[in-house]
Amino acid sequence: MKKALVGFLLVLVSLTANAAIIPIDTSNWLQLAGPSNDRNTGAWVGLKGQKPEKKGNSSGSLVSDFYLHGDFIFSGFATPTSTEFDDNDIIGLVFGWQDEQNHYRLGWTQTQRPGTDDDKSTKDITGRTGLFLIQEFEGVSSTLFNIADLFWQDDFTYAFEISRQDELLNILFGDISFTLDNTTFVDGRVGVYTESQTARFNQLNVIVPDTVFDPANPVAKISEPIGMAVFLSGLLLLCAAPRVSRKS
């Protein structure tokens, strides 16, 4: 039943006339410092295979070589630990990226339960832990969303999807989803990041409506709302995603 539903939804997505997928080549993406701790340590590996990974206790951002204007869907999967490296710090995503001083970042930590002596994770510069969405505007950080006691788990792979529909941002990470109204950065790049953490990202996709895309000048020009493509893509990820639960 689940396979049939996914197959049906894939057909529907393919029939969404005003949606296009931007070619992804992470070997061309920009390797920058972490958006909160301003550190760039450890190398990104797996870039040519489109499975960017940071190994060990490392930090850095990997930001797209293309720039989006308006509506989009950015989706994929994130695995925060591996058999070789087991840590408890920050994995995350960036979007609306202008530069290190202007962007959104969606970060997620393990442990650091408020009021406990757990093995403490690295905090965002705002002091946030758990799952958090931060707006960085002219170097000033503002918290848009935070679940302080929700933590990622070892040996899990989490689906994510970030989309913009006009003034609305729709966020899905694991089985947590929320929507908010924010237009500070309607345009910008997308990407992934770690801070003092290993992580692997794969199946990265960017979908835009009615796109004019020139690989020699990688800018996606948006003219139509994304509509059904956002809805169907979200359903696909929810079908495929492992479940997230709160640690007790």
pLDDT at residue 3 greater than cutoff 60: no
212-247 pLDDT, tens per residue?
444 445 554 443 444 444 445 544 554 544 444 333
Task: Check if the beta carbon of residue 240 is closer than 8 Å to that of residue 109.
Answer: no
Residue 70: which region, alpha, beta or left (left: phi > 0; alpha: psi -120 to 50)? left
Distances in Å between the Cα of 160 and the Cα atoms of 37, 141, 241, 243 are 23, 23, 8, 12
Which residues, 6 or more positions from 195, have their beta carbon under 8 angstroms from its beta carbon? 34, 36, 37, 39, 59, 89, 90, 92, 107, 122, 124
Average pLDDT over residues 184-198: 95
134-180 pLDDT, tens per residue?
999 999 999 999 998 899 888 799 999 999 999 999 999 998 999 99
Task: Check if the beta carbon of residue 159 is closer than 8 Å to that of residue 172.
Answer: yes
**C-alpha span between 211 and 191 (Å, rounded):** 19
**C-alpha span between 159 and 165 (Å, rounded):** 20
Which residues, 6 or more positions from 142, have their beta carbon under 8 angstroms from its beta carbon? 134, 135, 136
CATH number attached to the domain at 2-240:
2.60.120.200
Q: Write down the domain spans for the chain.
A: 2-240
